[in-house]
Amino acid sequence: MLPYKNFSSKLQLVKHGKLSLLDNVNFFLNRIEENKHLNAYNFVFGCEAKEQAVKIEEKIKSGSHGKLAGLVLAVKDVLSIKDKPTTCSSNMLRDFTSLYSATVVKKLLDEDAIIIGKTNCDEFAMGSSNENSAFGPVLNPYDNERVPGGSSGGSAVAVAAGLCDVSLGTDTGGSIRQPAAFCGVFGLKPTYGRVSRYGLTAFASSFDTIGPFANNIEDMTQVLQVMAGHDTNDSTSSPMPVPDMINNLVLNAGKLRLGIAKEYLGEGLSPEIKKAVEEIIAKLKSLGFQVEEIHLPHNEYTIATYYILTTAEASSNLARYDGARYGYRSENSSSLMEMYRSSRSEGFGSEVKRRIMLGTYVLSAGYYDAYYRKAQKVRRFIKNDFDEAFKKVDIILAPTSPTVAFKIGEKSSDPLEMYLSDIYTTSANLAGIPGLNIPIAKNSAGLPIGMQLFAKQFDELNLLKMGYYIQENVS
């Protein structure tokens, strides 16, 4: 679809005068216009993107450009960009303008990426279908009656439909990997702490991560290389050094030990997805990889644990939206209490309210020990399972989602059914490990199927190497 294979080849084309960056930005702007019905963007910054294209093209010609010069980037609308709106797809923040840029945004701009717009998502990143947005649902480009996945649905669609080169999403329980699987693109959730979250609107602070969507592993790696690293503005970002990933993507067959868990290939998994994942595993074996069975005995508790802990954290994080400090304030109130109540009632959508109530409940005096404290303990068991598994293997292979993209409206009236969309993804956030979605096949209806790779904490390099190997040799 794009007139280049990846970002490196695009940069070469611009350098040699074979591609004009302005034409390229116009190409994306036209495609965004033609695909408006997908509703992938909340805001498009056409004029500025064009101005940047001209400036950056000059820098490229004079050799004074940054590492991501001319990369056209879309940013999920939960990340701050100075002087631009950050709405979190919520009426609560519909008129909010960011006072500063998120560290990731700043780092990417410093390397001359061009931000073309902000993408639609589930409200405050809560959801698996992108149906919970004050800007309306995002449509799956493969079948407009289906969801793109969530919560970073707009970012997944922006890459899948050719509306940008790379996009940023956030992943608290699967919101990068699941929409990447539903839309047939690559999506990476880095290790907790690998990427600064300064400037990200918090949902569940001990889970939230920021990562890229891309059409190929090379682009994803280049963007991660720039995004990753310690940030003095985020005390949860890790001082662990970031290795050179870009020049080390090539993997010799058989060099990594692979693991599969029967907990991930059992009941509830669509037979077509199971078959597609098993075919990849078989091919990898035939190419010389050793595949071992590992066990994740606490896997059955991941969804319950995830929803207790994340709603608790969300109820606390979202307390700041009270009508006084940020965003929406109800006009119809005669007392302070009433102002709080009606601002929050009118400003938040129903899924956000559901989570605030659930989170407040699990943290309440009578139930804290029974739910919150117990879930914290189970979280540790889940992490220990992965620690054990990674003593034996380097990479764990799994499906990303139990189904392909489902129909709009199919699960929206049943929150529990919706929560099960995250059955294979939340464990990585509970354990803090990195996870990668790779598009591997299409089902009989032509809908994308994704496979997920996990690695141990801070081992993004092996994750990307394995992803690159599969991209080049298997799928």
Q: What is the binding site for ligand GLN (CB under 6 A)? A: 125-128, 151, 170-175, 203, 310, 422
* Choice between 180 and 224, CB closer to ligand GLN: 180
| Rounded least distance, CB 163 to ligand GLN, Å | 21
* Choice between 66 and 153, CB closer to ligand GLN: 153
| Rounded least distance, CB 128 to ligand GLN, Å | 4
Bridge partners (DSSP) listed for residue 439: 450
* Choice between 24 and 89, CB closer to ligand GLN: 89
Does the active-site annotation cover 76? yes
DSSP states along 237-288: S--PPPP--GGG----TT-S-EEEEGGGSSTTS-HHHHHHHHHHHHHHHHTT
The DSSP letter of residue 320 is: G
Per annotation, catalytic residue among 10, 76, 84, 189: 76
Per annotation, catalytic residue among 101, 151, 167, 412: 151
- CA distances to 188, 253, 297, 388 from 393, rounded to whole Å, are 20, 15, 16, 9
* Choice between 180 and 449, CB closer to ligand GLN: 180
| Rounded least distance, CB 172 to ligand GLN, Å | 4
* Choice between 170 and 457, CB closer to ligand GLN: 170
* Choice between 208 and 263, CB closer to ligand GLN: 208
| Rounded least distance, CB 188 to ligand GLN, Å | 13
* Choice between 303 and 461, CB closer to ligand GLN: 303
* Choice between 310 and 412, CB closer to ligand GLN: 310
* CA–CA distance, 312 with 355 (Å, rounded to integer): 8
Residue at shortest CB range from ligand GLN = 175
Convert 217-240 to b/e letters by CB count within 10 Å (16 or more is b): bbbbbbbbbbbbbbbeebeebbee
Per annotation, catalytic residue among 80, 90, 175, 427: 175
* CA–CA distance, 337 with 341 (Å, rounded to integer): 6
Nearest to 118 by CA among 103, 132, 139, 97: 97
Residues 242, 460 contacting (CB under 8 angstroms): no
Q: Which residue's structure tokens are 């699990």?
A: 362
Does the active-site annotation cover 151? yes
| Rounded least distance, CB 335 to ligand GLN, Å | 34
DSSP states along 109-140: HHTT-EEEEEE--SGGG--SSS-S-TT-PPPB
For 195, phi then psi, to 5°, come to -125, 130
Residues 145, 408 contacting (CB under 8 angstroms): yes
| Rounded least distance, CB 176 to ligand GLN, Å | 7
Nearest to 133 by CA among 161, 154, 116: 154
| Rounded least distance, CB 354 to ligand GLN, Å | 11
Nearest to 444 by CA among 218, 272, 318: 272
Give the angle subtended at the CA of 339 by the CAs of 336 and 340, to the nearest 5°: 90
Structure tokens at 198: 């300064």
* CA–CA distance, 96 with 280 (Å, rounded to integer): 46
| Burial class, 405, CB count within 10 angstroms (exposed 0-12 / middle 13-18 / buried 19+) | buried
| Rounded least distance, CB 87 to ligand GLN, Å | 16
Residues 358, 307 contacting (CB under 8 angstroms): yes
Catalytic residue IDs: 76, 151, 175
